Amino acid sequence: MMPCNACIRVTKGSMDVESWQSQLRKGAAELVVLAALDRQRAYGLQLLATINAGGELVTEGGLYPLLARLEKAGRIAAEWVLPEAGGNPRKYYVLTDEGRQLLAAMRGRWAAFRQTIDQLVEE
Amino acid sequence: MTDEHRINDYVRRLGWSLQRLDPAERTALVDEIRSHLIESAAAGTDALDRALAGLDTPYALGRRFVEEYELAGAVSGSGPRRLLVALLGRSTRRVAGASAVFVAILCYLCALIFAAMAAIKPFAPGRVGAWRVGSGWEAGILIPTSNAPELLGLWIIPLSIALAIASYLAGTLVLRHTARLMLR
């Protein structure tokens, strides 16, 4: 059976939206990770659970390279910790002073950006 | 294949994909991913399946790590070679990276030519210089038009050195600025 033109258009439109949403998530990932670490120190799996509690924002494959870069750039610091109850060692991350300054600057820009977009987009 | 085998297989392949990194950094990354997978597996095979799917293939994850490490390392260091290599790696996907590499290569070529002019002038003074030709002028390493008056003489040596340094710094500045933009 041949697909109708309307179906093709809808499918293509959905793919465009998915791609756009993926770019939005990617752009927000650094801010979201820094904000989560500002609340408490956390290890990778814990960060994923916190960040994705309301819907998937960051994947494992995006999170760990991002953490590696932030650590390399001195915006977060890490230490390996063995849980007191035993078990798997975990690499915990905390914000550095530089990371905290970056987060403050990003929050300011984010607020202004959100306000501008809201004004333009909201019906 | 048991969960343990799957985890070992994944981290072994990831380790191979991270060969370009420093061994200590590679070990740290592999240990962290192993820890993530072991803790996911503790919640059940389905959780491990989701974790492996979320990480993507070991090769894809390794490539992302290498890209991020090289770029972060290149920005914190000052070597233009590292910046150039890191941005070249991304330039296939990003227009900004490709443009920066192109401009930087032009700058480095100019720096090379100016440095060569400064180096050759003492040994072949007639071949290097700036000459008045008609209503304009020409400069570089070339055979001058006969009887064309030379404008700078030996002053072209310090001028070429200054231009070589300026071109080199401009190329490095373009690479570093673009790398910072791409890190945001």
Answer yes or no: do B70 and B109 share one domain: no
CA distances from B97 to A107, A111, B60, B101 (A): 27, 29, 20, 6
Is residue B103 domain-shared with residue B169, that is, in the same domain?
yes
On chain A, the residues whose CB falls within 8 A of the CB of B14 are none
pLDDT > 50? residue A1: no
Interface of B with A in 125-184 (CB under 8 A): 183-184
Last residue in a domain, options B46, B76, B106 = B76
Query: Could you tell me if B60 and B130 lie in one domain?
Result: no
Chain B residues close to A79, C-beta within 8 Å: none
Q: How far apart are CA B173 and CA B178, in angstroms?
A: 8
Q: Which of A35-39, A107-111, B80-84 has the lowest mean pLDDT?
A: B80-84
C-alpha to C-alpha distance for A46 and A52, rounded to whole angstroms: 10
Q: What's the pLDDT score for residue A23?
A: 81
Residue B125 tokens, joined? 């003074």
Print the SS3 string covering chain A. Answer: CCCCHHHHHHHHHHHHHHHHHHHHHHHHHHHHHHHHHHHCCEEHHHHHHHHHHHCCCCCHHHHHHHHHHHHHCCCEEEEEECCCCCCCCEEEEEECHHHHHHHHHHHHHHHHHHHHHHHHHCC
Q: Show the domain range for B137.
A: 95-184
Do the domain assignments include residue B85? no
Tell whether the model's pLDDT for residue B85 goes beyond 80.
Answer: no
> Which among A30, A64, A66 has the least Cβ separation from residue B32?
A64
- Residue A93 burial (CB count, 10 A): 23
- A103: nearest CA partner in chain B: B184
| Domain annotation covers residue B82 | no
Query: Can you say whether residue A83 is alpha, beta or left, with left for phi > 0 and alpha for psi between -120 and 50 degrees?
Result: beta
Cβ distance of B68 and A59 shorter than 8 Å: no
Looking at the structure, do residues B128 and B62 belong to the same domain, yes or no?
no
Considering chain B, what percentage of its residues have pLDDT values greater than 70? 85
Q: pLDDT tens digit string along B115-148?
A: 999 898 888 888 888 887 777 777 888 776 667 7
Q: Do B99 and B172 share a domain, yes or no?
A: yes
Kindly report the average pLDDT of chain B as a whole number. 83
pLDDT at residue number B56: 92
**Interval A58-107: pLDDT, tens:** 999 999 999 999 998 899 999 999 887 777 889 999 999 999 999 999 99
Of B29, B64, B75, the CB nearest to A61: B64
Name residue B58's amino acid: P
Say what the alpha-carbon torsion angle B128, B161, B115, B164 is, to the nearest 10 degrees.
-120
Question: A89 vs chain B: nearest CA distance in angstroms?
Answer: 7
Name the strand (E) or helix (H) holding B149.
none
Judged by CB atoms closer than 8 Å, whether chains meet at A91 and B69 is answered as: no
Tell me the domains of chain A and their CATH numbers: 7-121 (1.10.10.10)
Query: Please, what sign has the CA dihedral across residues B51, B56, B57, B58?
Result: negative
Write down the pLDDT at residue B112. Answer: 93
Question: Which residues in chain A are contacts of B55 at CB distance < 8 A?
Answer: 59-61, 64
Chain A residues whose beta carbon lies within 8 Å of the beta carbon of residue B60? 61
More confident of the two residues B108 and A122: B108
User: How far apart are alpha carbons B33 and A61 in whole angstroms?
Assistant: 10
Residue type, A53: A
Q: State the nearest Cα–Cα gap between A22 and chain B, in angstroms.
A: 14
Among A59, A60, A80, whose Cβ lies nearest the Cβ of B36? A60
| Nearest Cα residue in chain A from B50 | A60
Chain A residue with CA closest to B58: the answer is A61
Last residue of a domain, one of B44, B76, B108: B76
Does position B36 have pLDDT exceeding 60, yes or no? yes
Closest in B33, B38, B68 to A88, CB measured: B38
- Residue found by looking up tokens 């050759």 in the block: B120
Residue B89 belongs to some domain of the structure: no
Phi, psi of A93 (to 5 degrees): -115, 145
Give the Cα separation of B26 and A93 in Å (integer): 18
B43 with B5, same domain: the answer is yes
As a whole number of angstroms, the distance between CA B114 and CA B159 comes to: 9
As for how many domains chain B has, the answer is 2
Are B131 and B138 in contact by the 8 Å Cβ rule? The answer is: yes
Closest CA to A66 of B13, B94, B184: B184
B128 and B52 in a single domain? The answer is: no
Q: Which of B76, B105, B120 is the last residue of a domain?
A: B76
User: Which of A24-28, B121-125, B176-180 has the weakest average pLDDT?
Assistant: B176-180
- As a whole number, mean pLDDT of residues A38-51 equals 94
Say whether both B56 and B129 belong to one domain. no
Residues B59 and B124 grouped into a single domain: no
Which among A30, A60, A68 has the least Cβ separation from residue B69? A68
How many other C-beta atoms are found inside a 10 Å radius of the C-beta of residue B104? Answer: 24
Residue B143 lies in a domain: yes
- Give helix then strand counts, H and E, for chain B: 7, 2
